[in-house]
Structure formats: structure tokens, C-alpha cells
Structure 1
Amino acid sequence: MSKPTVRPSRPFFSSGPCAKRPGWSLSGLDQALLGRSHRAPEGRARLREVITRSKDVLGIPSDWRVGIVPASDTGAVEMILWALAGERGIDVLSFESFSGTWAQDLRDVLKIEDLRVLDAPYGELPDLTKVDWTRDVILTWNGTTSGVCIPDASAIPAEHEGLVICDATSAAFAMDLPWDRLDIVTWSWQKALGGEAAHGMVALSPRAAARLAQPSPRPLPKIFRLANKKGLIEAIFEGDTINTPSMLCVEDALDGLRWAEQIGGLPALKARSQQNLAAVTKWIATADWVSFLSAKEETRSSTSICLKITAPWFESLSAEAKGKAVKHLTGLVAKEGAGYDLASYRDAPAGLRIWGGATVETADIEALLPWLDWAHEQTRAEFSA
């Protein structure tokens, strides 16, 4: 096939850090509180604004606490695991790279004895009917590296004895989260709002806050401490961060939140992401070499859109050769300036991953897809020779 002539206006499809919002420029950060302390009244006000705007956009209940924590979503999840794991039995859903990491840490690092790992291969969800909701449950709402998401809240009982701890980093600001059925939710700025890395956020229900106020089962490093001898450190949930945040990143997070509000909040963000998934779905219906990694339509992610190459020439390759073929294919697209960071995650099956969050324009995805077809033909010829 001939080389396409139309390129995406913004060829940025990385799943983290993700594309900036449409119209973003450095001038939007001109008011960043640089050279000032984050503990000054103005610094705390900026941090508190991130918290309040996040609660408003996401529809977090008023009695929940929300705080900014170190080390992105990974840090947020780890601090919760270290602070809580072991008080009661734990069920953890493991179906992609990061949820697999939470399971491994609980088993091999924290050495939780009463642990059940409910796993599934890439492209599938574990059997949710086997979850014991009397235990603490750790789940990832959207598998960033597998393109599989929990379809709805029906599997989670409204009343449950344990805490439901939800890693929502690639779901927040793009999908509905059932706040009435969750207890702890974590995310980062670098995903669906296109913010900068290294900062995480954690939201606590009243039940979770009460648990965290109790002594931890183990000693905690400073950056993991949400509580002290007096109980929960309430100042953290008013913008008094554990460690020093980047005020430049804070300003960028505020820029993304204000944009989300301007376009219509969470409903508009969800609609934009769904339109991106629809564009890929329409293309796959006519493509004869690629399909979704998730076979079930109801579990397909609209943000981390993960694809597998199904062409016979590709399937005949060894695992090592498949990796090289994907690198070649995505390299061709990148060399043409038509799309960057399109290979699947390093631990996932060799394939493609297109970020479809709300900061990505559907027109850019539509412009990308013919380039993938072209690059596939070039790669097939190279690897079939």
C-alpha cells in the first residue's frame, strides 16, 4: 500500500506520561509558584485547589479525604499496602503487569500469609464471582498494560466487611468509579489529564480513614506515613504534603483540571475517551492483521487500548522475533512523525498500545491508523523475506 499523507496534528499516544490537553502550552504555567515554599500559605492553597478540583471533577463524596502523595500512583498504592496489609485476609486481582506487582509485593515482600491471588492472563479478567468481600480486596479498575477494565460495579457488594482498595490510575477522569462501593482509590496526574509524573493521589472513605488511623502492622518509612501516634494526619488532606512537591507540576495539574471543568467535567472526558475507542473499533472491523487484546467488548478499555497482531506471518515468529517486529513497525511510524510510543508494555504480549484518554483528539487517532496499516505491510515484507 502507498504511504499515507495525513499525519496526526499531535502524534502523542504514550500511556504515561500521556498527551497534554488540546491547546496546552508552557504559557499556561506562567503563574506557577516557583521559588516559594509549598508550605507557604500560597503554596498550600495551590495544593488544596488540586485536591478540591479533583474531588469536584471526579464526583468524590464530600466525606472522603483526598491527599497528594509521593511517587505517582505506584507510591500511592504501595503506601496503602504497607500501611494496611495483614490485618485481615487479602484477595488481590492480578491480570496485568501492575496488578501482578501488587500481588508479588504482598506475597514476596510483605509476606502476607492469608493471601489469595485471583489471576488471569493478559486480555482477560479474573472470575469476580470468586472474590471474598469479607476480606480486604485489591483491584485495578483498568489494566493499563492489558487494555482490560472492570465493566461495572455490579460485582462489588455495596456492603462489605473488608476494604476495597482500587488502583484507578488509568481509569480516573475517563471512567465511572463507584465511590459508594470502594474504600481507597489511587491515581496519578500523568494519565488521563496529561499531567507531569512523580505525584500520586489517594482518596479515603471514612471506613478507610478509620483503619489507617490505627497503628500499622509494620514500621513505615516517612513517605508512607498517613498517620502518627495521634491518628490520621489530617493536614495531608488539606494540602500539607508529606514531602516537597514540584510546584511546576502542581500548576500543570491545575491546568488540566480547569480544562476538564471547561469542557463539561467527567461526562465530557468519558465521551471523548469513548469516541477514541470507537475510532479504533471501526478500524479493527476492517483490518485483517490486528484485533483487541481483550476478546470481550464489555471489558475493553477506552484509555489504554491494547492490540494484538493476528496476521499469520506474525504468529509464526518466535517470541523474540515478535518483539523485534513490533519494534520495527512502531519505529517506522515514529520515524515518519505519525505516532510515538505505540509498542505494548515490556511485560505484556508483543503488540500495540494506543492511549485513548480524553486529552487525545479522535482526529489524531483516525490519522494514525492508516500509518499502522502501512507500517504493518512494510514489516510483513521485512520479516517474511
Structure 2
Amino acid sequence: MTEYARGLSHEPPLKPERPQFSSGPTVKFPGWSLDKLKTESLGRSHRSAVGKARLKYAIDLTKELLGIPDDYLVGIMPASDTGALEAAMWTMLDPARPATVAAWESFGNVWIQDAVKQLKLPNLQTLSADYGEIPDLSTIPQRNDVVFTWNGTTSGAMIPDTDWLEPGREGITINDATSAIFAMEMDWAKLDATTFSWQKVMGSEAQHGMLILSPKAVERIESYDPPWPLPKLFRMKKGDKLNRGIFEGATINTPSLLATEDYIAALEWAKSIGGRKALFERANTNADLVKNWIEAKPWLRNMVSDPAKRTNTGVCMVFQGDWYESLSDEDKAAVPKKIVKLLEERNVGYDFNGYRDAPPSLRIWCGGTVEAEDIERLLPWIEWAYETVKNG
């Protein structure tokens, strides 16, 4: 037992400076404050010259920082990553074509339910795996359209590569990258529709999603009219052509310009520290701290058994050992909740409980806006809280 695990009188001496470890919305970038946000667009119409210019700047800066090819389009969509992803599914998936939806955690399973229960695709292959695992993606036919989640936000399992997607494949790929973007390099040549939300890796305000389309995706949208009714929020065509205004700042519905300014501030910060490569390095450093700590604790294991599939953003851990295994299922589920409660009460760490549908677990966000020192300070507190719960 460490000196930090002997009771309430022996709490660790240092607390994180920023105790926000939520996996979404994630912590703001270091040094963030409201006075860093530009305000000229506030109180203005999003259709005004200044409003459209700021929306277009957010799009352009996103494209620059992510290294998105010049012939790809980037647009701002309503309803966060969910709205962007479902808009892609509703406008691009064709019942006459075979499709695959692959899932290995809760959000991927939502896309399966959309395909099965809402779109009712008749020629559908579904692939699923338990939390911490990834299904055999090599079984997906290359002619199939495919919907997948690059990184499992609620399980910590990511795809290790895109070798299962052949160059020039016949089907389109729809990629939910919301907890991977800005932390892992995207293989743009193999991606046709990629979505994410501002609230995840960049720690910006919620409710706005991004949709990135390849020329192949544009061709599919323009050549295909879905048989089901499309809500206005999903309609991306004017006549037979893609409404390219959406990808130049003319959003489908009214966006929050305050949230836009917050996202711009995060992008400008990322650019100032070295762009996406610097964000990748920060996320890798943070995740390695947590992963190595888990490996050194006999009462914990990474939810993902294969190191090649372990994320560098939302690192998930589950409990093990004789004491934990002796508990009832109800008491097992209470362990992470009690740990989080102890640390939240002390303003040490917030919102790092595992996802509600996942196995009882802890999940520490390690994306690039997190400071490594804050993670280093959090980990001894988790050990102290675990021992306090165990001996309580």
C-alpha cells in the first residue's frame, strides 16, 4: 500500500490545476478564458458578411490544421457529430446497394440501429464486438458502403490501421471520427464522409458538427435521391447539385457564433503550438502516462487487451483482482462511482467515470488540450480513492 492509500489523513499532496477529465465536452485548451474570444460577430446575423466570414474561417482553419485535401469539402452541420453522421447516412446510403455498419461500442451501435430500424437497409451486414474489442473488418466486401467509428469513445478501442479499406474501393466510407480527429492522423484517401464535433478533442462548445466530403461522396450525393423523407437539417442539395454554400459558411440552420468563436480560439491555439502534430504528441504523452500506470496496478487492466488498438484519447480501465471479483454485480458497478465521487468532492477530478452502458470502469480523457502534469497528479488520487473504497 502506498503512502497515499492509508486513509483520509494521507491524501496525495498535489491536486490537478485543471480537474476536468471528461470525454466530452472535453477540457478547454491551456490558458483559455472568455476574453480570448473575439466578439465582433456576436449579435450579428450568421448570414451577415462578418458572420459568414467567421464561419468560413472556422472551416478553412479546420481544413488547414487537419491536412484535408484541397478537393475535399468541409462544412458545419447542426446537432453535433450525431447530426453530421446521420446526415451522411440519410443522404448517401442507398437501399439498392450493399452496406456494412461496424460497431464496437455504444455510439457505433446507434449507427447500426439507424441502419436497421430507421433506414431499414435490406442488404445490410452488421459487425459488432464487445467493449475493448474490434470486429474482423477484413470481412467487409470492398463493394459495400461502410459506416464505422474510427475510435470507440466509450470503450477506448481504435482501429490500428486502414489496411482493410482498399484504395479505389467501390463502396463509400462514412467515418465517425469525433474522438479521434486532432489526435490521430486520418487516411483521407480512403475516407469519403468524415464527421466530428467541436466538443471532443478540441474542447470547444457543443451542438455543432463537421462534415468532410471527398469528391466521391459529392458524386454519390448528386447522383442519388434517397427514397425516405429527409428532414431539413439533413438536406444538402439544391436541385440535383450539392449546396456548396454549406461548405463555405452558409449553414443549414442558425449556428451559435459564440460557439464558433470558441472553436476558432481552440484552432488558433492548436496552430500556435505546432498544429495537429503537436496535438498528436500531447495526446500520446498523456495516454502513455495513463496506460503505463494501469500496467503497474494489479487491480486494474486496460479495457482494450490489444495494445495496438488502444486509444490515445479516452483511455478506459476496468477493475480486477480477488477483492473486486468477490463483490456482487451491484457493488462492482458502485466502485468507479464511489471513486469519482470522492475525487469530485475534493475538486481533484471531474467526470472520469466510464460510460453508462460500458462495463464498470474509469475513463480518463487524454487529448491534446489536457496537460500531462494534471494527469500525473490525478493518478495517485485514484489509487488513494480505490484503497479508501476497498477498505471502507
TM-score by length of 2: 0.96
Q: SS where residue 317 of structure 2 aligns?
A: strand
Looking at structure 1, the residues matched to 119 and 291 of structure 2 have their Cα atoms a distance apart, in angstroms, of 41
Paired residue for 2:261? Answer: 251
Matched, 1:65 2:64: no
Shift of 1:30: 4.1
1:313-332 deviations in Å (ceiling 9; x for gaps)? 22232332222222111100
Paired residue for 1:75? Answer: 83
Matches within 5 A, 1:60-209: 60-85=68-93, 86-209=95-218
Q: SS where residue 211 of structure 2 aligns?
A: strand
Looking at structure 1, the residues matched to 31 and 380 of structure 2 have their Cα atoms a distance apart, in angstroms, of 25
- What amino acid sits opposite 1:136 in the alignment? D
TM-score by length of 1: 0.97
Paired residue for 2:323? Answer: 313
Matched, 1:381 2:374: no
Shift of 1:219: 1.5
Unaligned runs of 5+ in 2: none
Shift of 1:255: 0.2
Q: SS where residue 327 of structure 2 aligns?
A: coil
Matched, 1:14 2:52: no
2:96 touches 2:123 (CA, 8 Å); kept in 1?
A: no
Question: Which of 34, 50, 69 is residue 42 of structure 1 equivalent to?
Answer: 50
Shift of 1:282: 2.2
- What amino acid sits opposite 1:19 in the alignment? V
Looking at structure 2, the residues matched to 13 and 341 of structure 1 have their Cα atoms a distance apart, in angstroms, of 6
Shift of 1:34: 1.1
Provide the aligned length of Structure 1 versus Structure 2.
382
Question: Which of 320, 333, 353 is residue 343 of structure 2 equivalent to?
Answer: 333
- What amino acid sits opposite 2:265 in the alignment? D
- What amino acid sits opposite 2:176 in the alignment? D
Q: SS where residue 338 of structure 1 aligns?
A: coil
Q: SS where residue 358 of structure 2 aligns?
A: coil
Shift of 1:82: 1.3
Q: SS where residue 350 of structure 2 aligns?
A: coil
2:291 touches 2:315 (CA, 8 Å); kept in 1?
A: no
Looking at structure 2, the residues matched to 161 and 22 of structure 1 have their Cα atoms a distance apart, in angstroms, of 43
1:161-194 deviations in Å (ceiling 9; x for gaps)? 0001100000111101100111110001001111
1:84-140 deviations in Å (ceiling 9; x for gaps)? 222411111110000011001111122111111111100000112111121100110
Quickly say closer, same or farther: Cα 1:295–1:32, change in 2 above 3 A.
farther
Looking at structure 1, the residues matched to 362 and 296 of structure 2 have their Cα atoms a distance apart, in angstroms, of 17
Quickly say closer, same or farther: Cα 1:381–1:265, change in 2 above 3 A.
same
Question: Which of 229, 253, 260 is residue 270 of structure 2 equivalent to?
Answer: 260
Looking at structure 1, the residues matched to 308 and 243 of structure 2 have their Cα atoms a distance apart, in angstroms, of 40
Looking at structure 1, the residues matched to 329 and 32 of structure 2 have their Cα atoms a distance apart, in angstroms, of 39
- What amino acid sits opposite 1:283 in the alignment? W
Q: SS where residue 210 of structure 2 aligns?
A: strand
Shift of 1:379: 1.1
Paired residue for 1:292? Answer: 302
1:169-228 deviations in Å (ceiling 9; x for gaps)? 001111011001111100010011110000000000001011112322322010011113
Name the stretch that deviates more: 189-198 or 78-87. Answer: 78-87
1:69 touches 1:76 (CA, 8 Å); kept in 2?
A: yes
- What amino acid sits opposite 1:42 in the alignment? V
1:327-353 deviations in Å (ceiling 9; x for gaps)? 111100111111000110011111000
1:249-284 deviations in Å (ceiling 9; x for gaps)? 000000010011111011100000000011112212
Shift of 1:32: 4.8
Looking at structure 1, the residues matched to 337 and 317 of structure 2 have their Cα atoms a distance apart, in angstroms, of 14
Question: Which of 273, 286, 294 is residue 276 of structure 1 equivalent to?
Answer: 286
How much is the aligned-residue C-alpha RMSD, in angstroms?
1.1
Paired residue for 2:12? Answer: 4
Q: SS where residue 116 of structure 2 aligns?
A: helix
Quickly say closer, same or farther: Cα 1:292–1:219, change in 2 above 3 A.
same
1:8 touches 1:368 (CA, 8 Å); kept in 2?
A: yes
Looking at structure 2, the residues matched to 207 and 155 of structure 1 have their Cα atoms a distance apart, in angstroms, of 19
Question: Which of 354, 371, 377 is residue 361 of structure 1 equivalent to?
Answer: 371
Q: SS where residue 66 of structure 1 aligns?
A: strand
Q: SS where residue 81 of structure 1 aligns?
A: helix
Looking at structure 1, the residues matched to 364 and 313 of structure 2 have their Cα atoms a distance apart, in angstroms, of 8
Q: SS where residue 301 of structure 2 aligns?
A: strand
Looking at structure 2, the residues matched to 32 and 343 of structure 1 have their Cα atoms a distance apart, in angstroms, of 38
